Amino acid sequence: MVAEKFSSKRYGVRYGRRLREKVGKLEQERRSDICPYCRHKKIDRIASGVWFCNKCKSKFTGRAYSVGKKVKEELVEENELKVEVTTKPEG
């Protein structure tokens, strides 16, 4: 059974397989998040979309159940490539 891989095993046979899988995936993503400022793995969710890093004491926003930094990093990389291509050499 796929749901046994996740931490939602504590629900047993209650609530249905699909819901337990969804909860397990959300909890797994939440534990794998890192702080975007100091790259520390110990961050806490204060409220929906509000996160707090225990190491650098920074409070920042993100997605409801995960920080979501991966999407932003991809956009930054694309913008840097565009800037490099559009700049003209001096002279």
Residues 26 and 3 in one domain: yes
Residues 26 and 37 in one domain: no
Residues 51 and 70 in one domain: yes
Question: Could you list the pLDDT tens digit for every one of the 91 residues in the chain?
Answer: 444 455 778 888 888 999 998 888 888 877 778 888 888 888 888 998 898 999 999 999 888 878 875 544 444 455 554 444 445 556 5
What's the DSSP call for residue 2? G
Show the tokens assigned to 49: 């979309």
Residue among 43, 21, 18 nearest 32 (CA) = 43
Residues 17 and 46 in one domain: no
Residues 25 and 52 in one domain: no
Cβ pair 44, 52 in contact under 8 A:
yes
Residues 39 and 28 in one domain: no
d(CA 51, CA 4): 28
For residue 82, give its domain range: 33-91
Provide the CATH number for the domain around residue 78.
Answer: 2.20.25.30
Count of structural domains, the chain: 2
Instruction: Please list the residues that pair with 53 across neighbouring strands.
Output: 43
Residues 75 and 49 in one domain: yes
d(CA 1, CA 39): 34
